Amino acid sequence: GNSVTQMEGPVTLSEEAFLTINCTYTATGYPSLFWYVQYPGEGLQLLLKATKADDKGSNKGFEATYRKETTSFHLEKGSVQVSDSAVYFCALNQAGTALIFGKGTTLSVSS
């Protein structure tokens, strides 16, 4: 069946450091891929998405490229801020099914 695997956290970085959170998936066909972010005490917010191979999703300085050949959708940001501290979820959605989430990666950024 479909599944999503994320790197385990927590990821601890200093402000202005480069961020990568790895995400790989297993799916038949061509799923859409998403990154969601959850700040403490809140629900999940859509961060970015990509719906076909080689698409790049971007938002708020975050980017992720849909790589079909490596079944990956890694999240990157060039310079993180303290306000980026949150839990990040990779997810996939295939037509006719519900979202399937990874287990989440906690990011902690210190000044």
Name the site residues for other proteins (rule: CB under 8 A). 31-32, 34, 36, 41-46, 49, 51, 89, 93-99, 101-104
**Residue whose CB is less far from other proteins, 2 or 72:** 2
Residue 60 or 79: the one with the smaller Cβ distance to other proteins is 60
Q: How many CB atoms lie within 10 A of CB 81?
A: 13
> Of the two residues 46 and 78, which places its CB atom closer to other proteins in the complex?
46
Compute the least distance from the CB of residue 55 to other proteins, in Å.
10
Strands (E), 1-111: 3-6, 11-14, 19-21, 23-26, 32-38, 44-50, 56-59, 62-65, 75-77, 86-93, 100-101, 105-110
Q: Which tokens in the block code for residue 7?
A: 């790197």
CB of 67 to other proteins, least distance (A): 17
Sheet holding 75-77, edge to edge: 19-21, 75-77, 62-65, 56-59
- The CB-of-34 to other proteins minimum distance in angstroms stands at 6
Least distance to other proteins, CB of residue 81, Å:
21
Cβ-based nearer residue to other proteins, 49 or 74: 49
Report the alpha-carbon distance of residue 30 to residue 24 in Å, rounded. 14
